[in-house]
Structures are given as structure tokens and as C-alpha cells.
Amino acid sequence: MSENLFPSAHPLVAHKLTQLRDRTTDFRRFRSIVDELAMILAYEATRDLPLRAVTVQTPLTITQGVKMDARIGLVPILRAGLGMVDGMLDLLPQAEVWHLGFYRDEHTLQPVIYYNKLPTDLSKHHCFVLDPMLATGGSALAAVDILKERGVMKIKFVGLLAAPEGIAALHRKHPDVMIHVAIIDERLTTEADADAGFPPGFIWPGLGDAGDRQFGTIRD
């Protein structure tokens, strides 16, 4: 396993992830669980953020403490990544939030960008790319490319499920990017799964389309 790959071992994560996988979980509850998982994963993904020493006046005396010493940017990949923002902001209210929008070409499975709302210079920021699914890795890889072009030196990917193929694709080009996820699933679906009604490029066993299940837009 890569040294920059961190699947969660937290029992609450495993418990809540099982609820997400359940096809009977409706979109209201699904959205709530994504928010909860994002908060738990935020604890794990922020372990190494820099701190600076400060003094603080308690009701009894003056003592030493610390404050966060980092400019933080959250970069949800539209649209599924939006569901992870509030959970992250609960812990990091000082974070700035930017957006990147990609859609996946159904034939090539490659990401096509349609929205970019990033500042020009991000060289002083620690950035967290948010997307529930690291499947083929195309969108995550494209997001990291764009962030590095803007000068970002510290980038982490935070998601719920990752496929081995997506992890390999992201780390092949960007081995420095830490990946924090709830779990690593078995594989991606392929053309061989099409006869059973499953399109290629989905995480298996997965939880379906995270965007559709969050926002109630599942197609019959």
C-alpha cells in the first residue's frame, strides 16, 4: 500500500458507509451521512496541518496554546463533492471554498471541465480536493493538475470510496498527493459488466452514483 494512502479504520466510518451502500437509503439520509463522514475524514486528513504557539488567558492564569497556521482551501468537484463541504467546514470554518466542475465523457471516461472558480495564486494554501468517489481517477487528476498550475504545494484528496485503478492513476502522476478515503473497494466495472446492466467505470461494489443519490436525481 502506498505511504500516501489512508483508508479509514474508524468503526463509525464502517458503520455509516454500510448505510450509504444500502440501495434503500433515501437521498435525504444519504446526504446526511455523506456530511457526517466528511467530518470524520476531516479529522484524519488534517492531522499534520501546521500550528503556531500562542498564549491564552484562562479563567485562572496565562498558559500556552496553539492556533492553526495554515491557509486552507476546499475544492469540491461538482456536483457530488458539494455534499462533503459542510462537514469539512464544521471543523475548518476558516477555510475558503472554491469549485471545479467536470463531467465524464461516457465514451472515453475522461473528464471534461465546464466550471473553474479558483483564484490565480494559491501558493500559500493547503488544499483538499473533495469528491465522494475516486473511480477512474480522471477528475481528481485533472483537479490536481489545475491546482498545481496555480502554485499549490500541499494537496490532499478526501473521498468516501476509492478503486485501485483510481488510486494508481492519481499516484502515478502525483505520488505526493495524500489520499484519505473511507474504504478501498474491489475494482471498477468494465465492458464485461455491461451485460448485467452495469456501465463501465463505476466502483464495485460501490454505492451507485454519489451525485444522483445525494440529490434525488436517480434515473429509472
**Confidence (pLDDT) at 197:** 72
The domains found in the chain, sorted by start residue, are 5-215 (3.40.50.2020)
Q: CB-hemisphere CA count at 13 Å for 180?
A: 22
Marked catalytic residue, from 35, 86, 193, 209: 209
**Confidence (pLDDT) at 121:** 87
Q: Per-block average pLDDT, block size 10, for the chain (220 residues)?
A: 87 96 94 96 94 96 95 94 95 94 77 89 93 93 94 96 96 96 93 76 89 81
**Confidence (pLDDT) at 111:** 82
Active-site annotation holds for 212: yes
Active-site annotation holds for 217: no
Cell of 86: 459542510
**Confidence (pLDDT) at 1:** 54
Marked catalytic residue, from 35, 86, 193, 212: 212
Active-site annotation holds for 104: yes
Cis peptide before 205 (omega within 30 of 0): yes
Marked catalytic residue, from 55, 63, 108, 120: 108
